[in-house]
A = this chain, B = another copy of it.
Amino acid sequence: MKYLIIYTHLNPNSFTKAVVDEVEKIAINKAHETKVIDLYADEFNPVLKFPDIQYSFMDGEAPKDVEIYQQYITWADRIIFVYPLWWQQMPAMLKGFIDRVFTNGYAYMYEESGPKGLLAGKSVQLIINTGNPSELLERNGLHTAVKKVNEEGIFEFCGMTAETIFFGDVAMGTDNERKEYLKSIGEIID
């Protein structure tokens, strides 16, 4: 299978980067063709502007950067997003990647009967690091809400399957807990 890892964090020494490295290592060990996109290193521009709209809804051409990332998405069988949860939502950098790359006519289209996802057959995994303990976010329903806006709101809308894995308490937790998270990636990546 072809695995695309899309990684979003400003700090190359973050735990998020350690997770990405482990996901990549395991995907390669399991003989998947594997590519990694690092949105911060790429200095991706997350602000949707007129050329995007012209391309997506009128007759314009795809902005060059959007076209390149769409080729990655097209190539992949599985897309694994690794990022921290800021304010219970993805970082602006990654939100802008969705806003700009998952365009009308590429990721979905509207038919008489309603919207139709154009990325069917691909699967998405979200590996999300949070500062809050997972028990807290599960108890107050935030995990459910976060899964819903992402899985249904973005990926299933485009026809993909999606699942979410939370690694909680990553900042204040112990080194041992973080090691356990890294170890669990072997079961997450099949």
Residues in A lying within 8 Å of B, measured CB to CB: 10-11, 40, 46-50, 53, 86-93, 95-96, 98-99, 102, 140-142, 144-146, 148-149, 152-154, 157
Contacts and interface: CB of A to CB of B under 8 A. Distances in A.
Contacts of A91: 48, 95, 99
Contacts of A148: 141-142, 145
A102 B87 contact: yes
19 contacts: A10-B50, A11-B50, A11-B53, A46-B92, A46-B96, A48-B91, A86-B98, A87-B98, A88-B149, A88-B153, A89-B95, A89-B153, A90-B95, A91-B99, A92-B95, A92-B96, A142-B152, A145-B146, A145-B149
A124 to B, nearest CB: 13
Contact of A153 (B48, B96, B142, B157): B142
A102 B11 CA distance: 19
A50 B9 CA distance: 11
Contacts of A89: 89-90, 95, 149, 153
Contacts of A53: 10-11
Taking each of A11, A49, A87, A93, which has the highest tally of chain B beta carbons within 10 Å of its own beta carbon?
A87
Contact of A93 (B47, B102, B144): B47
